[in-house]
Amino acid sequence: MKEAKQAQQAKLDFIKVSEQDRIKAILEIAKALDANKQELIQANQHDILAAKQDQLSKAMIDRLEMNESRINALIDSVKAIANQEQVVGEITQTMTRPDGLIIQKQRIPLGVIGMIFESRPNVVIDCSCLAIKSGNCIILKGGKEAKHSNLYLAKLVQQAISKYIPKLVVQLIESRQNVSQLLDQVGLVDVIIPRGGEKLIEYVYKNSKIPVIAHFKGLCHIYIDADANLEHAINIVINAKTQRPGVCNAVETLLLHKDLPIEFVDQLFNALIAKETELRVCDNTNTSLKNLKSATEDDWETEYLDNILSVKTISNLDEAIKHIQIFGSHHTEAIISNTKDHLEKFQNQVDASSIMLNASTRFNDGGEYNLGAELGISTTKLHAYGPMGAKEMTTERYVVVGDGHIRGA
């Protein structure tokens, strides 16, 4: 595949580049975005028009849209990535042996990243900047619905960076056939990151001959303990469910301790209903509200990606942990409690990329964690677990400094 070979060549030139030039290249992208807002909005309008003609959903069209305020936010995130601490070449450990041999670990780029994504065109910018910051080459394949925007942005990036780094550090591939080819480039592409719906992720996992890092689903829970601060609990549940119901870090199942006061449960349910949340409630729940829909076993394993919340009443912390061990998706799990032992036990026994102690599940996000942006969120534990920023796009190798040292035996 031409692009993969070009990336390998660009990689050899890119390793010679200094951090200063990587930063300058990223800042040039910010400048180019600022100088070309109208052209970008025009290119984006082609996609919006086509999306309307194809009768895509409102939510989908909203995700596609690039307007002035979104471009400004994008410029801010580009600058944030540029100004992050250096990751390439960082010495992360140093040990001197009794014989004087110095053993260090040093952070280096992974190499070439293949990124397959859907809809939002800002991914082109976020991921190009993260790749440059981390010293990697990246091959991007976006969805056809954002074709014009992606193409415009990729050209803008290549032009902007070419003064400081090889322009083929960032490449965009367009046709769909290229996806299966990309997944075949063993030895030329080091990792594949798919970002999008379940179908895309499954396709990539099934077909890739290259290691894949991806996030599957986000079936997130909040457990409200008997002694929880009830005001916090209501705020957190409302935020976690209704701020953006369609995203992976929204809560899907609420676990209520059986001793929570009925007034609290009623107040929480009313607050959710006021936000148009559909409740699916287990029969043991202590509420005076009538006509609530009953939860079925299926609800515990469903990621709604919608303004729907299942509610289960449980007897104690152990039962909550067990429920999450069975139904959780290793994405984000939260506990609201004032008992130190319970917070600790939850943290130690629940396995998820983010554990939230008295905080909303919505914080599991590269931006919120100060990564500038994220390449994706990994729900598998190899290499990275959770939002991936520039640091997660590197690996550590050994550098051994001797003075003629040889091994004894």
Distance CA 94, CA 331 (A): 33
Residues binding its own copies: number (CB under 8 A): 67
- Which C-beta is closer to its own copies: that of 148 or that of 195? 195
Question: Does position 267 bind its own copies by CB under 8 A?
Answer: no
Shortest distance, CB of residue 296 to its own copies, whole angstroms? 24
What angle is formed at CA 203 by the lines to CA 154 and CA 388, rounded to 5 degrees? Answer: 55
State how beta strands 386-388 and 376-378 pair.
Answer: antiparallel
Place of tokens 């009794």: 98
Shortest distance, CB of residue 96 to its own copies, whole angstroms? 11
Residues whose CB falls within 8 Å of the CB of residue 187, separated by 6 or more in sequence, listed in order: none
CA distance readout (Å), 287 to 260, 311, 317: 10, 11, 20
Shortest distance, CB of residue 162 to its own copies, whole angstroms? 21
Question: Does position 156 bind its own copies by CB under 8 A?
Answer: no
- Which C-beta is closer to its own copies: that of 28 or that of 392? 392
Q: 101-112 in b/e burial notation, b at 16+ Cβ within 10 A? A: eeebbbbbbbbb
Q: 387-402 in b/e burial notation, b at 16+ Cβ within 10 A? A: bbbbbbbbeeeeeeee
Binding mask 311-350 for its own copies (x = CB under 8 A): --------------x---------------------xxx-
Question: Does position 86 bind its own copies by CB under 8 A?
Answer: no
Query: Given the rule CB under 8 A, which of 29-37, 48-56, 260-268, 395-403 is the region that contacts its own copies?
Result: 395-403
Among 180, 243, 284, 296, binds its own copies (CB under 8 A): 243
Question: Does position 352 bind its own copies by CB under 8 A?
Answer: yes
- Which C-beta is closer to its own copies: that of 93 or that of 284? 93
Shortest distance, CB of residue 74 to its own copies, whole angstroms? 15
Shortest distance, CB of residue 336 to its own copies, whole angstroms? 8
Please provide the DSSP assignment of 201-246 as one string. Answer: HHHHHHH-SS-B-------EEEEE-TT--HHHHHHHHHHHHHSSTT
Question: Does position 363 bind its own copies by CB under 8 A?
Answer: yes
Please provide the DSSP assignment of 281-305 as one string. Answer: E-TT------SPEEP-HHHHT----
- Which C-beta is closer to its own copies: that of 84 or that of 158? 84
Question: Does position 389 bind its own copies by CB under 8 A?
Answer: no
Residues whose CB falls within 8 Å of the CB of residue 349, separated by 6 or more in sequence, listed in order: 321, 325
Site for its own copies in 177-196 (CB under 8 A): 190-191
Question: Does position 69 bind its own copies by CB under 8 A?
Answer: no
Among 42, 86, 229, 307, binds its own copies (CB under 8 A): 229
Half-sphere exposure of 238 (CA within 13 A, CB side): 17
- For residues 292 and 266, is the Cβ–Cβ distance under 8 A? no
Residues whose CB falls within 8 Å of the CB of residue 161, separated by 6 or more in sequence, listed in order: 25, 26, 28, 29, 132, 167, 169, 170
Question: Does position 110 bind its own copies by CB under 8 A?
Answer: yes
- Which C-beta is closer to its own copies: that of 46 or that of 383? 383
Shortest distance, CB of residue 39 to its own copies, whole angstroms? 28
Distance CA 364, CA 368 (A): 7
- Which C-beta is closer to its own copies: that of 36 or that of 134? 134
Distance CA 80, CA 83 (A): 5
Shortest distance, CB of residue 33 to its own copies, whole angstroms? 21
Shortest distance, CB of residue 50 to its own copies, whole angstroms? 29
Among 353, 373, 374, 376, binds its own copies (CB under 8 A): 353
Three-state DSSP state, 278:
strand
Question: Does position 5 bind its own copies by CB under 8 A?
Answer: no
Q: Could you say which DSSP state residue 306 is in?
A: S
- Which C-beta is closer to its own copies: that of 152 or that of 346? 346
- For residues 376 and 195, is the Cβ–Cβ distance under 8 A? yes
Shortest distance, CB of residue 203 to its own copies, whole angstroms? 15
Query: Given the rule CB under 8 A, which of 54-62, 146-154, 291-299, 382-390 is the region that contacts its own copies?
Result: 382-390
Binding site for its own copies (CB under 8 A): 12, 15-16, 89, 95, 97, 101, 103, 108, 110-111, 190-191, 211, 213, 229, 231-232, 235-236, 238-240, 243, 325, 347-349, 351-360, 362-365, 368-370, 380-387, 395-407, 409
